[in-house]
Amino acid sequence: MASGEFVLETEGLSKEFKGFFAVRDVSLRVRKGDIHALIGPNGAGKTTVFNLLTKFLTPTAGRILYKGEEITKTGPADIARKGMVRSFQISAVFPHLSLLENVRIALQRELGTSFHFWKSDDSLSALNDRAMALLEAVGLTEFRNHTAGDLPYGRKRALEIAMALACEPRLLLLDEPTAGMTHEDIVRITDLIGRVSENRTVLMVEHNLSVVSNLSNVITVLQRGEILAEGPYEEVSKMPEVISAYLGT
Ligand code: ADP
């Protein structure tokens, strides 16, 4: 293992809640450069796996490795610093500030700099330029002076991607990127994820199978907390056990 080919690996990952296994013995491998989707019917354990990977939950058994290094007990801030960044935490957005201010704050957090560093005109303008470039990358330039709290839902999620990109992730983790979106927003965010994945790895939990089939080259299907199938969407989606898991038969 730890060949460098896999950015993220889990070994026998489990989460037990009072005798009930929400996740059981999950060994996942996310290959560098892939858009890897974690799918499965309701209650399959997707959110629990995601929360284990992003350190919102602690596993009851198993290991997590990032670029071959064990991170099972590493905190969320430390894994973000290593390049593994979770997007879509609405709470991370400051609703009363503009989009530009939000992205500038995300950049300052990433740089770990004090305001003193940025007080020269040159560095402030460099910070502004980087923030503008990130807003442009996610298609939000025209909204830069809007208050984040006033943005429609789909645009807010694009802002969260911009803020995650400020951390320069090598592995971007997305939790249901299209949940609750209009068709138009889904088309826009699918295109955006495709573009941001060009030079990084993406692991996403996603319900919408047409988004999954459009974006991901590998999928892992979970059922009752365990891996049911894994591989390219075209192959896995034809497997009788996967079809029956989705039909609940
Ligand atoms: P999914 O995201 O695939 O819908 P979840 O990971 O949310 O599935 O849940 C998997 C299973 O674990 C479900 O049966 C759920 O009820 C259970 N579960 C999740 N969180 C908890 C918890 N904190 N306590 C007890 N059971 C939980």
The domain of 24 spans: 1-74+198-249
Average pLDDT score over residue span 65-84? 93
Indicate whether 117 belongs to any domain: no
**DSSP string over 5-35:** SEEEEEEEEEEEETTEEEEEEE--EEETT-E
pLDDT in the model for residue 114: 47
Q: Ligand 1 atom 25: the closest Cα is on which residue? A: 17
Indicate whether 241 belongs to any domain: yes
Q: Which residues neighbour 167 within 8 Å (Cβ) at sequence distance 6 or greater? A: 80, 85, 106, 109, 110
C-alpha 154/C-alpha 190 separation (Å) is: 11
Give the total number of structural domains in the chain.
1
Pocket of ligand 1 (CB under 6 A): 17, 20, 22, 40, 42-48
Indicate whether 151 belongs to any domain: no
Q: Which residues neighbour 11 within 8 Å (Cβ) at sequence distance 6 or greater? A: 27, 62, 63, 65
Indicate whether 121 belongs to any domain: no
Q: What is the pLDDT of residues 39-63, one digit of tens each?
A: 999 999 999 999 999 999 999 999 9
Position in ligand 1 atom list of the atom nearest CA 50: 6
ipTM over 0.90: yes
Indicate whether 205 belongs to any domain: yes
Position in ligand 1 atom list of the atom nearest CA 22: 12
Q: What is the pLDDT of residues 197-213, one digit of tens each?
A: 998 999 999 989 999 99
C-alpha 241/C-alpha 237 separation (Å) is: 9
Question: Residue 33 belongs to a domain with what CATH number?
Answer: 3.40.50.300
Position in ligand 1 atom list of the atom nearest CA 40: 3
Its pTM stands at 0.90
Judge contact between 38 and 25, C-beta under 8 A.
Answer: no
Distances (CA, A) of 185 to 167, 178, 188: 24, 8, 5
Mean pLDDT of the chain: 90
Indicate whether 236 belongs to any domain: yes
